[in-house]
Chains A and B, each alone.
Chain A
Amino acid sequence: MTNDIVTLDHGSGGKKTSQLIEELLVPAFSNDTLSQLGDGALLDLQGPLIFSTDSFVVDPIFFPGGNIGKLSVCGTVNDLAMCGGQPRYLSLSLLLEEGFPLDDLRTIVSSIAQTAKQAGVEIVTGDTKVVERGKGDGIYINTSGIGTLRYPGLSPEAIQPGDVVILSGTMGDHGATVMMARNGLLEGSSLQSDCQPLWQLAKAALDCGGVRVLRDPTRGGVATTLNEFTENRPISIELDEDALPVRGAVQAACDLLGLDPLYCANEGKLLAICHPSSAEAVLAALQATPGGQEAAVIGRVTDRYPGKVILNTFLGGGRVLSKLTGAQLPRIC
């Protein structure tokens, strides 16, 4: 490709489109299914299967620890993994804005390929569209994924009082990094998104047995995700403020921007709720798996405050952690 930017021709379905697919996308994701370039991918799979989709519009497109491409693979494979499904195949739709630098696209595609490899999935079908300049924000990505169900029966309905809440690492790294990047405040900072595929961590936890449910606390953060478990149910989740793992740089960024790590997005963490008898094994298994070294028990399931998530503060007493309302807006002072 001689041009250095995406043009409407790249989405026309004609020569430039074929060039983009054959010179950039197919080589990056090389696999037999994709190389056939059919209208659809022929998959030979045994059920039951897990199917999920996710769209990615992150701003900025590039951030420390990842980019929109890496995120687009992690987001979908992690949804599969949280359902107990081993990620197998992904579709990839690129929505490009006219004028988007091809070099950036190459970097993103290379991240997608690398992350897919790491996650053990193949990208077997896809689509590319180009919108006129001003009608998009550089690049949007949609991925859909299919996984093979390896661990059936995971459900929030299975959660019982007495269960233990485990988080696979520190909170808020992705959200804080993106917010700081968006405001040009990253210089000299050690902040990094935690964006990573979670299947290996999920598998490690699930192999221990006794796991009721897994969930990756993305948008809305840990507090909002836990509220999804307790809402309209006769259980409560009580977190221990002192046990919540937060990096110093994330806390500092949140203090600066008026955010709360409990409500900041994570893209490489999982919450596991498990039977008390397997909590120790699950914690040890997570800590022994790459990406889970900082796993910690952060709370317990009780029945004292039905429907609520409670934070027991270091000072004594507790307060209710509600769902995130609207977007987290920065404060004045």
Chain B
Amino acid sequence: MLSEAAFRRPKGADKILRAIRELELPPTRIMEVCGTHTMAIAKSGIRNLLPAHIQLLSGPGCPVCVTPSGVMDEVLKLTEIPDLIVTTYGDLMRVPGSVPGDDLQRRKAMGADVRWVYSPMDALELAKAHPDKQVIFLGVGFETTAPGTALAVLEAQAQQVANFSVLCLLKQTAPALRALLAQPDFRVDGFLCPGHVATVMGAEAFRFLPEEYGLPAVVGGFETGDLLAALWQLLLQIKEKSPRLENEYTRAVSPQGNPAAQAIMAQVLEPVSDVWRGLGTISESGFGLKAEFAAHDAARRFPFSPTDKEGTKGCKCGQIICGQLQPHQCPLFGKACQPDHPVGPCMVSGEGACAAAYKYQRIETLL
């Protein structure tokens, strides 16, 4: 088996890039819908090595970015409840609610008990260690983090950890893609499909793109070699006008995905209507905990009534998430909105399109 390094520094990368440049194509727009793809593409510098007529767009792939401010407002309110520990992935620490600067990190500094964890199981352990306190885990993410979140709920039930609950903010990828495709002015020529989601759900989860929408779809990995190979396959499909589903990331993704993970999700989670930044409310686009797990459902146990409030005036995160604008087209980008004082979630999240564009600024923009 090839090591990850072979994909990171692929031999022949220059040949693929040359072939891509020589491929005669009309203006072409390719969208990825995964925060890790956003970062990997920006970090690799591929975007700037492509000819000008090939545009790479970031779609609604960053779980933090698609969470509206109105939801964060309610999350921040939870930290005001006494004897309660809020646990979260690091990404959410600096996402502001509708008041700029008000985020979990600030709440923590002001005395709220907010802790970041790498896994919901760590949050469960924390609950066991602090039986006198309520511990809420903020379950954000797509199908990638859903199985782990569901597993923690199952374990909490099995071990009768009554003071552990999950605020289930999990989202599903496919309904968001369908909602995007239903927008009248939305146009892309192909999708780079998310390798992590596909690891859980299977490559087949994206077959609807070519079959129902006639769009090329390639499941891709995250190293430079993966990205180049997936792009090449997408561009060839576009050139040949033969949209189909291809899986470039075969070392991690099978056609059917991970059945054990899917079984846990099916046991604990159910589709619910959910609200997305930029896309509004989409039916059956999120995951909620099934009624039998109500005892571990923070949304039922604590006050939680989110709104679809989108955030600060002038912030274009909603349009950036939908691929209508590129980060530098937002008037706040790099000025009022920077990583150390972010206005919108696309700048604060490590996986946001704006943070990626800012962090991995290209030298071309300096000259």
Contact = CB atoms under 8 A, between A and B. Distances in A.
Interface stretch (B139-147, B242-250, B306-314): B139-147
Nearest to A333: B144
A333 B361 CA distance: 22
A320 B90 contact: no
Contacts of A326: 94, 339-340
B361 A332 contact: no
A183 interface: yes
Contacts of A310: 363
A152 interface: no
B277 to A, nearest CB: 16
Contacts of B362: 317-320
Contacts of A315: 13-14, 17, 44-46, 49, 224
A12 to B, nearest CB: 30
Contact of B141 (A257, A313, A325, A333): A333
Interface residues of A, number: 24
Given A317-B49, A319-B361, A322-B359, A330 B9 contact: no
Contacts of A308: 366
A252 to B, nearest CB: 8
A135 interface: no
Interface in A226-259: 242, 255, 257-258
B36 interface: yes
B45 A332 contact: no
Nearest to A238: B363
A62 to B, nearest CB: 20
A260 to B, nearest CB: 9
Contact of B366 (A258, A305, A331, A333): A305
A332 B38 CA distance: 13
A305 B140 CA distance: 39
Nearest to A308: B366
B363 A319 contact: yes
B38 to A, nearest CB: 11
Contacts of A329: 90-91, 93-94, 116, 350
Contacts, number: 93
Taking residues whose C-beta sits less than 8 angstroms from the other chain, chain B's interface range is 35 or more
B141 A330 contact: no
A249 B351 CA distance: 24
Contacts of A317: 45, 48-49, 362-364
Contact of A331 (B35, B338, B340): B35
B186 interface: no
Interface string A296-333: 00000000010010100111111110100110011111
A261 to B, nearest CB: 13
Nearest to B64: A332
Nearest to A185: B118
27 contacts: A242-B9, A257-B118, A258-B350, A308-B366, A314-B9, A314-B13, A315-B13, A315-B14, A315-B44, A315-B46, A315-B224, A316-B45, A317-B45, A317-B48, A317-B363, A325-B339, A325-B340, A329-B91, A329-B94, A329-B116, A331-B351, A332-B35, A332-B144, A333-B35, A333-B36, A333-B142, A333-B144
Interface of A: 183, 242, 255, 257-258, 305, 308, 310, 313-320, 322, 325-326, 329-333
What are the 6 A-B residue pairs with the smallest beta carbon separation, nearest first? A329-B90, A330-B90, A325-B339, A320-B361, A318-B363, A333-B144
